[in-house]
Amino acid sequence: MALSGLRVLELAGLAPAPLCGMILADFGARVVRVDRAPRSAVAADAQGRGKRSLALDLKRPAGAAALRRLCRGADVLVEPFRHGVMEKLGLGPEVLLQENPRLIYARLTGFGQSGKYAKSAGHDINYLALSGVLSKLGRKDENPYAPVNLLADFAGGGVMCAMGIIIALYERTKSGKGQIVDASMVEGAAYLSSFLWKSQNLGLWNRPRGENLLDSGAPFYETYKTSDGKYMAVGAIEPQFYEQLVKGLGLDSNKLPSQLSFSDWPKMKKMFASIFAQKTQTEWCSIFDSTDACVTPVLSFDDAASHQHNKQRGSFIKNDQEEISPRPAPLLSRTPAVPSFKRDPFIGEHTEEILLEYGFTKQEIAKLHSDKVIEFSKPKANL
């Protein structure tokens, strides 16, 4: 796999860093999740695929020293705490990069390593708000609306951080040097929205929220309820595709207002809604499936995993616990990701094997264990 041989240490965090670690693991990196000791009852990481777990108390000097030693043998460290936490533990980048100048030290935070909010708590919705993006999301006359925690936590956070790590690793092949990746989710979400910023002069966003082309203003970029209580998604932007939408709905475009007549959009939406409400989702699929009308069913997770197109591509996978999840993307032709099919690790499940692998002796491990700096856990104990 593309990242095989890469050694990654991921300090356990909430949602974004676990995705970052999972991406690296899916593409072949050996990812160790450093969990807290004493451990909490359950792991908060639902994205532990392909990782191993080491439970280590970083607040104890011997625990911090152990992490320093692990970092000497690692390529990448991912840390998910607000600015200052790692420094307080004596594990800041100036220490770890001095000991291992090749280390990529990735800091995945909400607000970044500097600025007024650097030390403040926050979550996805706060980062999205500060990026400017949240102000664009939501329907007309409604409050701004954050689409789950996908945009800042995962797209602007976990994925952007993984990209920063890969870029830094590529650079390291030339310079031989590691560096700090300061991945702020505010900036990640903002960067992700570059199109919104840079297309403002095109007149795409001149109208209030929920009245523009792509923000639920247009009748041809909307979801519509079907007679069986499901939904269809319509994205017929270009005139030639819009024409096919109109035809599929049984309408005559000569008798309709022009596609871009903003003032007619609310009326057009009502008309489209009443037509979509007359047939089931399956019936609409059979009308639109083989056209370029850009009309697709809105699928539940279950339906997405069993949809013919997704099945043909193998877009979803099942692990040995029968859990279904998306297959890693994108697909690389020669060295595709090969995700683990095993269950996620229990906290501390691999503590001993990881320490041995990183050069700790059995005696050192026994001492750390008796001093309660590390924890082992047998799978059964966590059930």
Ligand X SMILES: C[C@H](CCC[C@H](C)C(=O)SCCNC(=O)CCNC(=O)[C@H](O)C(C)(C)COP(=O)(O)OP(=O)(O)OC[C@H]1O[C@@H](n2cnc3c(N)ncnc32)[C@H](O)[C@@H]1OP(=O)(O)O)[C@H]1CC[C@H]2[C@@H]3[C@H](O)C[C@@H]4C[C@H](O)CC[C@]4(C)[C@H]3C[C@H](O)[C@]12C
Cα separation, 71 vs 62, in Å, equals: 14
Cα separation, 97 vs 92, in Å, equals: 8
383 binds ligand X (CB under 6 A): no
* Binding region for ligand X (CB under 6 A) out of 116-124, 231-239, 274-282, 351-359: 116-124
66 binds ligand X (CB under 6 A): no
Q: Nearest CA to 58 among 95, 90, 100?
A: 90
Cα separation, 287 vs 163, in Å, equals: 40
Alpha helices in 149-238 (DSSP H): 160-175, 185-192, 194-198
Tell me if 296 sits within 8 A of 222, measured CB to CB.
no
Q: What is the contact mask toward ligand X in residues 13 to 32, using x (rule: CB under 6 A)?
A: xxxx----------------
Tell me if 310 sits within 8 A of 316, measured CB to CB.
yes
Footprint of ligand X on residues 33-52 (CB under 6 A)? 34, 36, 42-44, 46
Closest distance of CB 61 from ligand X, Å: 12
Cα separation, 330 vs 26, in Å, equals: 11
Closest distance of CB 356 from ligand X, Å: 19
369 is catalytic: no
* Binding region for ligand X (CB under 6 A) out of 74-82, 90-98, 195-203, 313-321: 74-82
3-class SS at 177? coil
Cα separation, 2 vs 225, in Å, equals: 43
Q: Of residues 45, 75, 124, 153, which has the active-site annotation?
A: 153
User: What DSSP letter does each residue of 239-262 carry, written as one string?
Assistant: HHHHHHHHHHTT--GGGS--TT-G
Any bridge partners for residue 76, and if so which? 8, 104
| The CA-based dihedral angle spanning residues 366, 80, 172, 358, taken in that order and rounded to the nearest 10 degrees | 10
Closest distance of CB 250 from ligand X, Å: 43
164 binds ligand X (CB under 6 A): no
Cα separation, 232 vs 299, in Å, equals: 9
Closest distance of CB 128 from ligand X, Å: 9
| The CA-based dihedral angle spanning residues 23, 26, 28, 33, taken in that order and rounded to the nearest 10 degrees | 70
Tell me if 111 sits within 8 A of 120, measured CB to CB.
yes
85 binds ligand X (CB under 6 A): yes
Query: Judged by CB, which is closer to ligand X: 15, or 180?
Result: 15
Any bridge partners for residue 36, and if so which? 56
Query: Judged by CB, which is closer to ligand X: 26, or 153?
Result: 153
Q: What is the contact mask toward ligand X in residues 87 to 106, using x (rule: CB under 6 A)?
A: -xx-----------------
110 binds ligand X (CB under 6 A): yes
Footprint of ligand X on residues 321-360 (CB under 6 A)? none
Footprint of ligand X on residues 123-142 (CB under 6 A)? 123-124
309 is catalytic: no
Closest distance of CB 237 from ligand X, Å: 32
297 binds ligand X (CB under 6 A): no
65 binds ligand X (CB under 6 A): no
Query: Judged by CB, which is closer to ligand X: 81, or 288?
Result: 81
| The CA-based dihedral angle spanning residues 205, 210, 214, 217, taken in that order and rounded to the nearest 10 degrees | -110
Closest distance of CB 352 from ligand X, Å: 17
Closest distance of CB 302 from ligand X, Å: 19
Supply 46's token pair: 């639902």
57 binds ligand X (CB under 6 A): yes
Query: Judged by CB, which is closer to ligand X: 58, or 159?
Result: 58
Instruction: Write out the catalytic residue numbers.
Output: 123, 153
Footprint of ligand X (CB under 6 A): 11, 13-16, 34, 36, 42-44, 46, 56-59, 80-82, 85, 88-89, 109-110, 121-124, 149, 153
